[in-house]
Structures are given as structure tokens and as C-alpha cells.
Copies of this chain bind each other. A is one copy, B any other.
Amino acid sequence: MDNDSKESSSGALESLSFPSNKWVKLNVGGKVYTTTLDTLVGREPDSMLARMFLQNGAMQPSEKDEQGAYLIDRSPRYFEPIINYLRHGQFICDDNISVKGVLAEARFFGIYSLVAHLEELLAQEDQPLDDRPLT
């Protein structure tokens, strides 16, 4: 009934607080994403998301909501290309989605390979990258 009880007793990734095939729910700004620990820590082990789930990391996982999803106070819309990037390593995004919006999230989550790629994309589009806060 509860996947959490199926933890393998020892794993190759000893620094993980969960077995690597564990399913994780993230509540990003009100929308729930389902993914695996592998996705969160595998591609970008130094990112903020990875460090939230690394046993010896400096960060604690955030609080959970009532259905057990970790709460993250960010935009669900622009998180979607981020989690897909962590799944398969490509940046893929529909035409009508703001690349600036994805960049803001990539920076927040500390996914620097993606940040660099998105900054390059925006530079090619010749958009002035004025993303300083208004206030």
C-alpha cells in the first residue's frame, strides 16, 4: 500500500536518503508532479533539488502537503520543462511558453547546465535580458 516501505536495504548510492527508484511527489505552487529520486539527483547532483534529497546535503527536504508531496513555492508552468530536462537531458518547450520563465526556475533550482543553455537561446533571439526584479 505504501511504496515508502519498499526501500532496498542497501544501495549503490549510499549518500541518498532514499533508494534511487523511489517515487517522489512535488507540489510546485499547487500542481503535483510525480517523478523519481533518480531524476531529481541523477543528472544534476549539485542542484538545489538534488541537495534537498541527498542524505548528507546541507538542505532539508521541504515540508509535505497533506498527500505527501514536497512543497515548493514556485511556478508549476515553468517547472515542467525543468523536470523534463532532468528526465532526459534535453530542453524541450512549446512555442508559447516563455523561455524567460523557464530560466527563472532553472536559476532558482540551480541547474546550471540548463541556465547556460537558456541564456544562449535568449541571446540568439536578441532579446534584451532584462530580468532584474521590478522592485
- Which residues of A does B touch, CB under 8 Å? 1, 3, 6, 23, 25, 27, 29-36, 38-39, 43-44, 63, 65-66, 71, 73-75, 77-78, 80, 83-85, 87-98, 100-101, 104, 108, 113-114, 117, 131-135
Contact = CB atoms under 8 A, between A and B. Distances in A.
Contacts of A132: 89-90
A87 B63 contact: no
Given A29-B83, A36-B73, A23 B63 contact: yes
Contacts of A25: 30
B29 A34 contact: yes
The 6 closest A-B pairs by CB, nearest first: A89-B133, A30-B34, A92-B101, A30-B33, A75-B84, A36-B73
Contacts of A114: 134
Contacts of A77: 80, 94
B134 A117 contact: yes
16 contacts: A1-B66, A23-B63, A25-B30, A27-B34, A29-B33, A30-B33, A34-B65, A43-B135, A77-B80, A89-B135, A90-B100, A90-B134, A91-B134, A93-B101, A94-B101, A113-B134
